[in-house]
């Protein structure tokens, strides 16, 4: 690419200077209300608590070595414990390879780098979320097992599934059988104690203000998903596993169909069809291997605080920030996000 033929392309020598100058302007409030329109084929978002010059120099060397050209720079956040910088890239790159290289570079640099197609830098019309360890900071079935005194047995079944000895449905049925007799009264006591994931309320509130529908697609339980929807989170649709009760206690059985990875992907597609949306208007967020099928379907598939395998295979990943950091991947800056949260009533 002839860099000199396009004055909007930032040379490696000017990239650091421009980023830090614009960050200073952002902090002082002297910046545009909206980021620049996306015109490049790729966007690379840098997320870090505090951006260091050496990190940016290393990134610009990486970009220059590959012949990628930065055509626009936007500071989406510049505040204590959060800097978000979006670079628009003119680049003939192969996504999976570039994503892998950027994940390795990000780990080396101690920050996060999220690559996405420029066309995906938009607010989705439907956002689908896993629940356990995504919207909440817990795996509910493990918490129930601990209280029921079968925590070690359930953990061993989970490990067997991770080793490939059991699939999700087999492991789910085995774990549920160990919870026979757990009372509905105890479930009602547990639900209010489930800790929300950081940024979950802000993200879902902002999405509702933007007109985006939201869904929980979970291998967990409708009992807890409905509690979250009714008390804490701006969620429109819930699909999860139903608990089977008899005389106020769990039977240890399951009610089909079980929501596993394949069903999550199917539900996402069905919801999009019902809403007359194309998949490029849908995003998915999750942390586990059973989320990978749905993460591969939409415009964005965000692995959140995910297991290494999931982080390596998902299209995008966020690790060191709250769920609301996903808003930067829609092309929004802190000023726009604050305005949305002011306009939208809290859940």
Kindly state whether residue 13 falls inside one of the protein's structural domains. yes
170 found inside a domain: no
Both tokens of residue 81?
């414990």
Nearest to 124 by CA among 199, 206, 234: 206
Q: Which of 67, 95, 121 is the last residue of a domain?
A: 121
Residue 178 lies inside a defined structural domain of this protein: no
Tokens of 45: 């978002």
Helix (H, G, I), strand (E, B) or coil at 254: strand
Q: How confident is the model at residue 330 (pLDDT cuts 50, 70, 90)?
A: very high
- Euclidean distance between CA atoms 205 and 27, whole angstroms: 25
The residue annotated as part of the active site, out of 2, 30, 132, 236, is: 132
Q: Which one is catalytic: 2, 32, 96, 130?
A: 130
Task: Specify whether 68 is located in the same domain as 106.
Answer: yes
Q: How far apart are CA 297 and CA 188, in angstroms?
A: 35
Decide: 83 and 47 in contact? Cβ < 8 Å.
yes
Question: Is residue 135 domain-shared with residue 53, that is, in the same domain?
Answer: no
For residues 84 and 135, state if they share a domain. Answer: no
- The pLDDT assigned to 163 comes to 62
Residues 103, 37 within the same domain: yes
Specify the pairing of strand 82-90 against strand 42-48: antiparallel
Please check whether residues 107 and 131 belong to one and the same domain: no
Rounded to whole angstroms, how far apart are CA atoms 78 and 169?
A: 44
Q: Does residue 185 lie within any of the structural domains?
A: no
Range of the domain at 104: 3-121
Q: Decide if pLDDT at 346 tops 90.
A: no
DSSP letter (8 states) at residue 279: G
pTM of the predicted model as reported, rounded to 2 decimal places: 0.91
**Is residue 171 included in any domain, yes or no?**
no
Q: Is there a single domain that holds both residue 71 and residue 133?
A: no
If DSSP states are collapsed to H, E and C, what string results for 75-88?
Answer: EEEEECCEEEEEEE
Per-residue pLDDT reduced to its tens digit, 195-223: 999 999 999 999 999 999 999 999 999 99
Burial classification of residue 211, based on how many CB atoms lie within 10 Å of its CB (0-12 exposed, 13-18 middle, 19 or more buried): exposed
Q: What percent of the chain has pLDDT over 90?
A: 74
Distance CA 308, CA 313 (A): 9
**202/320 same-domain check:** yes
CATH number for position 48: 3.30.70.260
Report whether pLDDT(6) > 50: no
229-266 burial: b if 16+ Cβ within 10 Å, else e: beebbbbbbbbbbebeeeeebbbbebeeebbbbebbbb
pLDDT classification of 7: cutoffs 50, 70, 90: very low
DSSP of 49-97, one letter per residue? Answer: SS--HHHHHHHHHHHHHTT-EEEEEEEEEEETTEEEEEEEEE----HHH
Residue 130 known to be catalytic: yes
Of residues 17 and 195, the one with the higher pLDDT is: 195
Residue 133 and residue 76 share a domain: no
Do residue 209 and residue 282 come from a single domain? yes
Residue 177 lies in a domain: no
Region 253-281 average pLDDT: 96
The number of distinct structural domains making up the chain is 2
Rounded to an integer, what distance in angstroms lies between the CA atom of residue 119 and that of residue 41? 7
Strands across the sheet containing 82-90: 69-79, 82-90, 42-48, 112-117
Give the pLDDT band of residue 164 (cuts 50, 70, 90): low
pLDDT tens-digit map of 296-328:
999 999 999 998 889 999 999 999 999 999 999
Please determine, for residue 9, whether its predicted confidence score (pLDDT) is greater than 70. no
Give the per-residue pLDDT at 27. 64
Helical residues (DSSP H) of the chain, grouped into ranges: 12-28, 53-65, 95-109, 140-148, 151-162, 168-177, 184-190, 200-209, 222-231, 261-274, 292-295, 308-313, 334-343
Q: Is 167 a catalytic residue?
A: no
Greatest extent of the chain over all pairs of C-alpha atoms, in Å: 76
Residue 276 in tokens:
């007359």
């Amino acid at each position: 690419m002839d860099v000199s033929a396009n004055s909007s392309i930032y040379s490696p020598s000017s990239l650091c200077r421009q980023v830090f100058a614009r960050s200073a302007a952002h902090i002082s409030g002297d910046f545009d209300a909206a980021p620049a329109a996306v015109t490049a084929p790729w966007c690379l978002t840098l997320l870090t608590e505090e951006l260091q010059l050496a990190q940016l120099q290393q990134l610009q060397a990486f970009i220059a070595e590959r012949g990628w050209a930065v055509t626009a720079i936007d500071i989406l956040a510049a505040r204590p414990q959060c800097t978000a910088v979006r670079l628009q890239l003119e680049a003939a790159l192969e996504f999976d390879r570039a994503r892998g290289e950027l994940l390795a570079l990000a780990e080396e640099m101690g920050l996060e780098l999220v690559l996405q197609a420029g066309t995906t830098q938009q607010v989705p019309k439907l956002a689908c979320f896993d629940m356990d360890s995504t919207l909440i900071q817990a795996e509910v079935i493990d918490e129930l097992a601990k209280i029921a005194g079968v925590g070690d047995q359930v953990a061993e079944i989970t490990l067997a599934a991770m080793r490939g000895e059991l699939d999700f449905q087999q492991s789910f049925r085995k774990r549920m059988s160990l919870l026979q007799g757990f009372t509905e009264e105890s479930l009602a006591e547990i639900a209010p104690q489930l800790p929300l994931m950081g940024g979950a309320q802000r993200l879902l509130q902002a999405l509702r203000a933007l007109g985006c529908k939201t869904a929980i697609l979970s291998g967990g339980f409708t009992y807890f998903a409905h509690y979250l929807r009714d008390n804490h989170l701006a969620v429109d649709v819930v699909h999860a596993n139903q608990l089977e009760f008899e005389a106020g206690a769990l039977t240890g059985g399951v009610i089909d169909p079980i929501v596993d990875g394949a069903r999550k992907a199917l539900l996402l597609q069905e919801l999009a069809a019902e809403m007359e949306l194309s998949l490029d208007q849908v995003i998915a967020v999750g942390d586990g291997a059973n989320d990978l099928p749905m993460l591969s379907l939409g415009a964005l598939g965000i692995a959140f605080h995910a297991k290494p395998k999931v982080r390596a295979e998902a299209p995008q990943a966020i690790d060191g920030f709250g769920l609301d950091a996903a808003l930067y991947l829609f092309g929004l800056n802190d000023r726009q996000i604050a305005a949305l949260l002011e306009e939208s009533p809290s859940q």
